[in-house]
Chain A
Amino acid sequence: MEFFDVGSAKKTDIKDRYDVIIIGGGPGGITAAIYAVQAGLKPLIIEKALDGGQMNNTQAVENWSGFSSISGMDLSEKMADHARAFDVPFAYNEVVDVELEGQEKAVILDNGKKLNSRVLIISTGSNPRDLGAKGEEQFKGKGISYCATCDGHFFADKHIAVIGGGNSALDESLYLSKMVRKITVVQNLAKLTADKLLQDKLNATGKVEYIYNSVVDSVEGDSQLSAISIRNVDSGNITRLPVEGMFVFIGLIPNSGFLKGKLKLNDFGYVPTDENMETEIEGIYAVGDVREKEVRQIVTAAADGAIAIYHAARSYFDE
């Protein structure tokens, strides 16, 4: 047995109203909660899966100062424990709707409960993006996966394709390399965009080959995926690659669906804010991956959270 995670069993009693409700328990949301307590406010974090959010899927975080290398799972736990030490309550639910008009904001949970707050922080993060290849829908869960830690075991000693050449793709490839026989990384550009350090580590496994300037055109199989067709973006030539699995890490989509029609989103679904992280509606802030910005990192999410609370405390609670 590798580990035991108490996870959402750490839930606390939830009240009907808080000063600040934070939707999403990743680094942005947790940091906002810590700063809120320090400002004398009562925050609530609502998390739909696990403390730390997407961080849990990262094998090794090597750019959060204080730790030269720490697993995303461990960092998640440390951050959440930090918030708990400050008596921050966590609700483990999914937010299905929000009421953003008027001074008093509300969130509606998937169990039907309605909670109120003066300030709302949207830190819902992002999820892996689909490829959009022919056959993708049909083979989701039948050889196509978007989570290496979840599904890696099912591909022991198999030849798999990893789609994408960024940090996520290579971090997950490194994890998968411990169990699979061979990895073919398919990248749409002429080179990888992942950090050099990560590239070196992956190459050292001796299990990886790369196909550049290529995208997945379609996937095929019987009951399970058995091959993918790769199109060269320059020549248009299509090559068939027999694989038993395909992991997709080509970028992210923001978790902002529940805000559609209620709050201004950009063309890609990200939430625009001003420099204080405040959205077009007073008292509604967006922090971390869900926000419209350039750099999506743990440290920038955390910084967003601090900035949002700094502004909110002075704007809405300073009597």
Chain B
Amino acid sequence: MEKRLLPANIVEQVKGVFKEMEGKVTALFFKTDRRCDYCKTGEQLLKELAEINEKLSYEVHDIDSERARQFEIEVAPSIILLTADGDDKGVRFLGIPAGHEFGTLLQNIVSFSKGAKPDLSEESLKKIGAIDSPVDIKVFVTTTCPYCPKAVLMAHNIAMANKNIKAYMVEANEFEELSKKYGVSSVPQIVINDKVTFVGAYPEGQFVEQVLNAL
């Protein structure tokens, strides 16, 4: 028997979280046959999650595939979530959401099963909704960082609020070159449009201001 990633007690907890799921969710998993230390693990993780609740399914694609070009995915492993209607809400994971980021993936899955409605204040929704140019938010994390899930969830909720926004969780150890390029040595480090950079899990109002500063 293959070795399971998720321990039995975690599977039980995930079952509880997934009880909240309403509609179907599809996770697109992008891998490569070239060097990829974590591709097998990522695929295994989605497989085990999909076994827990039938509302979650997953597809595996190569980063050289048409599907990858469609979603502008160039690195592996990557995960994109789609709603029951097949809507891409700009929510992306580069690297495996393990450790403390596991909860982020689960919350996003539940949220997508309910149509991926952003959990933001009306004021933030108004400000983010008005953005009419592309925004790229990268949140660099390590899976051992207790403060990082808050920053990733915030970025993902902001992406859900506007079609022009894409928000990436980037696992800094898996994507070392990208981390070096952006000089990451503390997490969470947030980079917006390669223009605004800050370190730390800002509260909602301040995070939204930083997005507006990057326009």
B partners with A:
yes
Given contacts A96-B203, A140-B199, contact A4 B99 (CB under 8 A): yes
The reply to whether A111 and B121 contact each other, CB–CB distance below 8 Å, is: yes
- Asked whether, in the complex, the Cβ of A111 is within 8 Å of the Cβ of B144, the reply is no
Interface residue ranges of A121-148 to B (CB < 8 Å): 140-145, 147
Most chain B beta carbons < 10 A, residue from A92, A94, A110, A145:
A110
Report the separation of the CA atoms of residues A9 and B110 in the bound assembly, to the nearest whole angstrom: 9
The reply to whether A112 and B147 form a contact with Cβ atoms under 8 Å apart is: no
What are the 3 closest A-B residue pairs judged by CB atoms, nearest first? A7-B103, A112-B121, A141-B199
Which of A3, A7, A9, A154 is the one whose CB lies under 8 Å from B172? A154
Q: Are A4 and B186 in contact (CB under 8 A)?
A: no
Q: Does the CB pair A145–B17 fall under 8 Å?
A: no
A142 CB → nearest B CB, Å: 6
* Alpha-carbon distance between A92 and B104 when the two chains are bound, in angstroms: 12
Interface size of A in residues (CB-CB distance below 8 Å):
40
Residues of A within 8 A of B (CB): 1-11, 48-50, 56-57, 92, 94, 96, 110-113, 140-145, 147, 149-155, 223-224, 245
Q: Are B187 and A149 in contact (CB under 8 A)?
A: no
The verdict on A150 contacting B121 (CB below 8 Å), with A2-B99, A6-B103 known, is no
Is the CB–CB distance between B147 and A150 below 8 Å?
Answer: yes
26 A-B residue pairs with Cβ-Cβ distance under 8 Å, sorted by A, are A2-B98, A6-B106, A7-B103, A7-B149, A8-B149, A9-B17, A48-B201, A49-B146, A56-B146, A57-B146, A96-B205, A111-B119, A111-B121, A112-B121, A112-B124, A141-B185, A141-B189, A143-B185, A149-B146, A150-B145, A150-B147, A150-B187, A151-B187, A152-B144, A224-B183, A224-B185
Q: State the CA gap A10–B17 with chains docked (Å).
A: 6
Asked if B122 is at the interface (CB within 8 A of a chain A CB), the reply is yes
CA distance A149 to B143 in the complex (A): 9
Q: Assess whether A3 is in contact with B185, with CB atoms less than 8 Å apart.
A: no
